[in-house]
Structure 1
Amino acid sequence: MSKKGEDRSFGWETRLVLASPLNLFWTGAAIAVLLYLSFMSCALWNGLNIVIDRAGDPTLSSDAWTALCMSLLWWTIISLGQYTRSANLAEAWKLSKLGVSMSVERLAELERGPTRVAHRRAAFFGLIGAAAGFVFYTIVYRPDGQVVWPSNMTLTNAWFFVMTLGLFTEIFRSLSFLRMDTSVFVRDLDHRVAIDLLDISKLDGFGRIALRGALPWLLTGTIVLLLLLGQRSTELFLPLIAGLVASATIVFAWPMWRVHRLIDNAKKVELARLRREIFETRAVFDSQGAESDRAAPRLSALLALEGRVEKAREWPLDMPTVFRFGLYLALPLGSWLGGAIVERILALVMG
């Protein structure tokens, strides 16, 4: 292996998933359960109620609901992030077999992990995230309206402090790695994609890659939206949700727009060429003699080909991908429905 290849390594998230005897889903679920159990231990130590009575109905306390959402966020970041990485790598190899030039060096950025430079850049973004998390914690998390400082922290306060800083750090780190992963697929894309206007489906892999890249951020934004159900102060949550949705939009739109532009340009060039040939063939067809008879089949074929090219879609999106995109957009609605279901289950369990 080259020195350049040895300079690559996986982050702790990938190493954790690879070392786990469970699959991606259950590894993330186990982490979420362990984190929530750790919160419950802290809450019980401090004598806090997990379930409270609100207007005659049992419900999770504000802290318990927030801790549940935070645990789910860790599941989303770790499990879905690693799923996106592995699935996009498999998709890239499929694209390379369909004529899309994906160099081994570019694929290595996903197969063997980021470079040291990418890790250092991610660490820098993580520090920015930790600072943002500290500000977020001190402004938003105020039990009984009081600011919590190290001097008056309980064990539960400390749990929220560590989780908030950890989540912000991980989100910012993931954004840095996400930018790198996305650039792998769009770097020099103009010189690597051969457009076959009669079979655009060869490029549908780009749509699936873009959609997978957006999924973790849409789901993270959805869980953050769920956090609002247990918060008194929501002003800082709106910019956070907007930032996550913006990240998802950029990750989805960037490769999609690049491929769309390539298809559109190829379509314009091909239609211009066909219409020149149709004009020339029609002139021969309108003339008299044997050449007119020979031009008839060619004119018919050119007209049919023009219609086929004109109808070729200009986006690398098949119907299953479009359907999944619609489901992803419905995630926020599902999150509020999920919150209502949790409340209903609690009411049934507690009688």
Structure 2
Amino acid sequence: MTGIVVSVICFFSYLAVASHVGLIDQTVEGEVSSIELRASLTLMILIGYLPVAHWYLRKWSLQSFGEVKQAFALQDNARVPSDRTLLAAGIVGWLAFITLFLILPDRDSLLFQPWRWALDYTAVVIALSLVGWSIGRLSFELIWTALHLTEIAKCLPDLNLFDRDSFKPFIQQGVQSALLIIIMMSITGHLAVKPGSGIIGTMVFMTTMLVLTMMALIIPMRGIHSRIQAGKRGELAAIREKIRLKKDRLIAGSAQESDMIVALLAMETRIERVPDWPFDGGSLSRFSFYLLLGLGSWVGAALVERLINSAL
């Protein structure tokens, strides 16, 4: 709720600033591309969203660690990135955003001439700094948490391949992390619909967001995926060795081994059918639904943009 309030305040505050300096009138009259106003308003929304997303990421991560600890009787406590590390990540994000959006697009950037800053430009610089700072921290913790879960998975005791419930914390972390990126994709999706931009730019933007979403989904499950594969290989090798021994005895004339071989073959088949990834139908359905929402925002933005251009 706090994030929504902050976003609304920033959004309407910038609208007031844009109206004061005449940016809204210039946009309506076609003197200035609508992308400038849309991008600035999007920054105002992200100012409220990103800290809330970071808070939820931390909350969900600690919850996932706790569930893994309980399921596998681990002794280690959950860990989070240090404040110093997050500070460095925030600075990197801030520098990246300032460079990408203020310095590179304009070699004679006003960024280094603060005495020439108009009110709306000042607001954009502040907003970009806050968004870059927040995205740097959020991105780092998202990746750090995913890699930490991977390391935990490598240290787990022997897995019960048939206990799929014990894998749910890894699935949950992946789906929830992807959701945070998809929401950001929905917020920023309309920026891909830039007047006069080519299809290549739009496709690059969409592909980048989709890749980030898939990374957020997959990385938290890489470790448990490797453990499942290793567990299957080990158990299948042991069962097949037993089948070989029982088969030799059966051939030698021991009819008592027949029932045991049937049971071993059934177990072999059951283990082979265990999925290598810990996904289940519900998690895949939720992820697909979230992804469709993100893609739907792009389609909606394209339709709205076309309607506005037709009206003007």
TM-score (ref. length: structure 1): 0.74
Q: Please say if residues 161 and 228 of structure 2, whose CA atoms lie closer than 8 Å, have aligned partners that are also in contact.
A: yes
2:49 counterpart of 1:76? yes
User: Shift in Å at residue 340 of structure 1?
Assistant: 4.6
User: Which letter does structure 2 place at the counterpart of 1:49?
Assistant: I
User: Shift in Å at residue 332 of structure 1?
Assistant: 4.6
User: Shift in Å at residue 202 of structure 1?
Assistant: 2.1
Structure 1 stretches of 5 or more lacking a match?
1-25, 55-59
| Secondary structure of 1:317's aligned partner | coil
Distance 1:76 1:241 in 2: 20
TM-score (ref. length: structure 2): 0.82
Matches for 1:183-198 after TM superposition, within 5 Å? 183-198=147-162
Distance 2:205 2:277 in 1: 30
Q: Please say if residues 28 and 76 of structure 1, whose CA atoms lie closer than 8 Å, have aligned partners that are also in contact.
A: yes
The match for 2:217 is 252
Structure 2 stretches of 5 or more lacking a match?
none
Matches for 1:326-337 after TM superposition, within 5 Å? 326-337=288-299
| Secondary structure of 2:72's aligned partner | coil
The match for 2:171 is 207
- Identical pairs, percent: 22
The match for 2:236 is 271
Alignment equivalent of 1:101, drawn from 64, 74, 78: 74
The match for 2:2 is 27
Alignment equivalent of 1:169, drawn from 133, 142, 148: 133
Q: Please say if residues 47 and 130 of structure 2, whose CA atoms lie closer than 8 Å, have aligned partners that are also in contact.
A: no
Instruction: Name whichever of 299-308 and 250-259 sits farther off.
Output: 250-259
User: Which letter does structure 2 place at the counterpart of 1:196?
Assistant: N
- Per-residue Cα deviation, 1:116-164 (whole angstroms, up to 9, x for no partner): xx2222222322222222223434777xx98544232221111111111
User: Which letter does structure 1 place at the counterpart of 2:71?
Assistant: L
The match for 2:262 is 300
User: Which letter does structure 2 place at the counterpart of 1:260?
Assistant: H
2:17 counterpart of 1:52? no
Matched residues, number: 307
Distance 1:232 1:344, change over 3 A: closer
2:249 counterpart of 1:284? yes
Matches for 1:130-149 after TM superposition, within 5 Å? 130-139=94-103, 147-148=109-110, 149=113
2:7 counterpart of 1:38? no
Distance 2:105 2:119 in 1: 14
User: Which letter does structure 2 place at the counterpart of 1:281?
Assistant: K
Q: Aligned-pair RMSD on alpha carbons?
A: 3.6
The match for 1:312 is 274
The match for 1:16 is none
User: Shift in Å at residue 193 of structure 1?
Assistant: 4.4
Distance 1:231 1:123, change over 3 A: farther
Instruction: Name whichever of 43-52 and 319-328 sits farther off.
Output: 43-52
Distance 1:236 1:271, change over 3 A: same
2:38 counterpart of 1:65? yes
User: Which letter does structure 1 place at the counterpart of 2:177?
Assistant: G
| Secondary structure of 2:28's aligned partner | strand
Distance 1:245 1:127 in 2: 25
